């Protein structure tokens, strides 16, 4: 078998010690190499140096045909690259056969979102009890400012600036940004703050607290959003991040300002924000299909000869 047992044992020790990887990660690397051994067993390969780029491409194609997902193929190829780089250091081979090989791109799923009417239906919570006031303020802020679940859970009272209509949030990588807050969200927050002190424990700085008076947990927010959606008559499953997706799509649809939406969302890379341009195009395509008098004739009329 190529690689042989001694080479595999040496590699396992290397990634366990030098790279300080977990036993589970080491097991996954060895499993990926075992898969390579199986794919190469019927070929005339005696040493690692006999493996070339075409062997790797053929193996990748075989795995793809067997139904392995793009993400799994990328991970498998990454394991091979790590091993062959180590093999080069050990001088077990002269060239890395994974150089220039690319796994199929992972298909990016478009995020699910709500249209404007559904969003308004969700946040329009009736009632003046503390639960309703808190939930309405929480949902309004989620949608108004496009916050992540962790971001809204971590918002403190001092982060809200009603006079400036902004909220300070700490996002991924501990990066802080200032985000505008809409009038509806500010009104809901002001109503919540009038009763919050009756529920919050002393020295609790969180804007949103649970029934026990402590900062509300991520799980509790997820459960409340799901429950509220059901109560508000929304049939599709709703989770907090859908409000962020909806915020981004609605902002982009209205403004067309991709860079501005990127700043509001706190995305480090513009490519992360660009997924919403696809959603916006889908919306435009649906609008075209429903409004244009010739839309339903597309692709059906044969040209005259």
Q: Is 109 a catalytic residue?
A: no
Query: Active-site residue among 172, 175, 183, 212?
Result: 172
Q: Is the dihedral of CA 132, 138, 140, 142 positive or negative?
A: negative
Q: Is 148 a catalytic residue?
A: yes
Query: Active-site residue among 196, 215, 244, 245?
Result: 244
Reference 87, options 74, 77, 97, 78; nearest CA is: 97
Spatial separation of the C-alpha atoms in residues 215 and 251, rounded to whole Å: 30
Q: Is 172 a catalytic residue?
A: yes
Q: Is 296 a catalytic residue?
A: no
Residue 158: Cβ-neighbour burial (10 angstroms; 0-12, 13-18, 19+): exposed
If residue 177 lies in a helix (H) or strand (E), which one and from where to where? strand 176-180
Tokens matching residue 120: 């308004």
Spatial separation of the C-alpha atoms in residues 63 and 234, rounded to whole Å: 41
Query: Active-site residue among 14, 75, 267, 283?
Result: 267
Query: Active-site residue among 14, 35, 191, 241?
Result: 241
For residues 50 and 104, the answer to whether their CB atoms sit within 8 Å is no
Please count the CA atoms within 13 angstroms of the CA of 133 that sit on its side-chain side. 18
Q: What are phi and psi of 110, to 5 degrees?
A: -75, 135
Query: Active-site residue among 148, 196, 199, 215?
Result: 148
Q: Is 241 a catalytic residue?
A: yes
Tokens matching residue 83: 């091993």
β-strands 160-161, 166-170 pairing: antiparallel
SS3 label, residue 209: strand
Q: Is 244 a catalytic residue?
A: yes
Q: Give the catalytic positions in this structure.
A: 148, 172, 241, 244, 267, 276
């Amino acid at each position: 078998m190529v690689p042989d047992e001694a080479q595999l044992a040496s590699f396992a020790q290397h990634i366990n010690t030098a790279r300080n990887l977990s036993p589970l990660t080491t097991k996954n690397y060895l499993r990926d190499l075992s898969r390579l051994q199986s794919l190469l067993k019927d070929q005339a390969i005696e040493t690692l140096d006999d493996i070339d780029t075409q062997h790797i491409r053929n193996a990748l194609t075989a795995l793809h045909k067997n139904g392995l997902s793009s993400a799994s193929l990328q991970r498998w190829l990454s394991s091979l690259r790590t091993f062959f780089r180590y093999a080069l250091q050990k001088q077990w081979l002269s060239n890395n056969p994974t150089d220039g090989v690319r796994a199929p791109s992972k298909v990016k799923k478009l995020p699910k979102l709500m249209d404007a009417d559904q969003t308004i239906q969700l946040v329009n919570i009736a009632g003046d009890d503390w639960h309703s006031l808190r939930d309405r303020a929480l949902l309004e802020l989620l949608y108004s400012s496009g916050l992540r679940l962790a971001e809204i859970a971590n918002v403190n009272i001092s982060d809200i600036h009603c006079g400036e209509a902004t909220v300070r949030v700490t996002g991924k990588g501990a990066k802080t940004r200032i985000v505008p807050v809409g009038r509806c969200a500010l009104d809901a927050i002001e109503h919540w703050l009038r009763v919050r002190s009756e529920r919050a424990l002393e020295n609790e700085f969180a804007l949103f607290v649970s029934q026990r008076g402590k900062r509300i947990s991520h799980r509790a927010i997820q459960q409340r959003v799901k429950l509220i959606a059901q109560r508000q008559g929304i049939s599709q499953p709703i989770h907090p991040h859908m409000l962020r997706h909806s915020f981004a799509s609605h902002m982009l649809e209205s403004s067309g300002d991709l860079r501005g939406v990127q700043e509001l969302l706190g995305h480090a890379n513009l490519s992360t924000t660009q997924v919403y341009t696809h959603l916006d195009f889908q919306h435009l395509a649906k609008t075209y299909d429903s409004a244009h008098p010739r839309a339903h004739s597309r692709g059906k009329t044969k040209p005259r000869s």
